[in-house]
Amino acid sequence: MGRVVLINYGPLSGKIAVIVEIITTSRVLIDGPTTGVKRQEISLRRVSLTDFKLDVARGIKAAALKEAVNKFDMVKKFAGTPFAKKMQRGQTRAKLTDFDRFKVMVLRKKVNFEFF
Average pLDDT, the chain: 93
Residues 14 and 43 in one domain: yes
Backbone angles phi, psi at 32, to 5 degrees: -135, 80
Q: What percent of the chain has pLDDT over 70?
A: 98
The pLDDT of residue 116 is 67
| 99-115 pLDDT, tens digit each | 999 999 999 999 998 87
To the question of pTM greater than 0.75 for the whole model, the response is yes
Residues 98 and 65 in one domain: no
Residues 6+ apart with CB under 8 A from 62: 31, 33, 39
Q: Give the whole-angstrom CA distance, residue 45 versus residue 75.
A: 22
Residues 49 and 86 in one domain: no
Residues 6+ apart with CB under 8 A from 5: 16, 17, 18, 19, 28, 30, 47, 48, 49, 50
| Count of domains for the chain | 2
